[in-house]
Amino acid sequence: MTTTTLPTGATTATGRLPGAWGLGLRRGALEIRQFFRQREQVVFTFAFPVVFLFLFASIFSDDVKGAGITASQLYVPAMTAAGIMSTSFQSLGISIAIERDEKVLRRLRGTPMPPAAYFLGKIWLVLCTGVLETTVLLLVGISFYGVDLPSDPARWFDLAWIFVLGLTACALLGIAVSSVPRSGRSATSVVVLPFLVLQFISGVYIAIDTIPDWMLNIGALFPLKWMCQGLRGVFLPDSAQILEQAGRWEFGKVALVLGAWCVGGLVLCLLTFRWKNRREG
């Protein structure tokens, strides 16, 4: 009887490797353990959006005229959307670029582990961190800024599909953009800059009704604007719809755009992803 050692440390007595799904679960567990062992990364990942929420919600706390909410409440869903994108797009865009530069991807490519298992492991990681980040931000919003959890089951359903579609779209974009930096050292600047710009033109830091239409139209091409809008529809009263560019939540359009980005992000991944950096060909 032969025993095969798996890339993630698991063994099987049958001599046959488990499928991509089983290996992806093991890879995901490994990714999560490695993430939480890096204390600085954990603190920065979870604290960054929370600190910004405290800052903006404390500075801008007046009532929003005609919307039936305070400016602080307006920031909670917006920062939650930014937190989801941070733990998916930004995290994967930087970490995969670094792993490629350090030849981690090249070594994994040479193991019996199928490529799909590597990506499944990353998805499990961003799912775990995304859920935790969202939970932390909502707890802050409920505890300090008077945001109420949805009382309607339909709104909980809206929260679920916005989270899943938004996280998936941003994760796929993060995998795709990881091929842009020429080295792991330049990954942070290449990934963070467009993410920062998107936050300003998507209604995260600045209210939608104060952003020029041409900027909003650019922001509307990307997932973050629609995640912000969808989450505002989940957590804010209908009176706040007057702040939106179209004057309504547009849940159908939110689903359409996020779903399109899931498909488009997958296509981009297939077309651009590389196991080796550009210097190695």
The C-alpha atoms of residue 82 and residue 245 are separated, in whole angstroms, by: 19
CB 89 within 8 A of CB 171: yes
CB 141 within 8 A of CB 76: yes
Q: CB under 8 Å to 225, separation ≥6 — which residues?
A: 198, 201, 202, 203, 216, 219
- The pLDDT of 84-97, averaged and rounded, is 92
* pLDDT for 277: 72
- Lowest-confidence segment of 18-27, 93-102, 182-191 by average pLDDT: 18-27
pLDDT over 50 at 22, yes or no? yes
pLDDT over 90 at 117, yes or no? no
* pLDDT for 5: 41
Pair of tokens at residue 147: 């945001």
pLDDT over 60 at 193, yes or no? yes
With cut-offs at 50, 70 and 90, classify the pLDDT of residue 264: very high
- Lowest-confidence segment of 127-131, 153-157, 190-194, 220-224 by average pLDDT: 190-194
Q: What is the pLDDT of residues 47-89, one digit of tens each?
A: 888 999 999 888 888 888 888 889 889 999 999 999 999 999 9
CB 6 within 8 A of CB 23: yes
- The pLDDT of 144-156, averaged and rounded, is 90
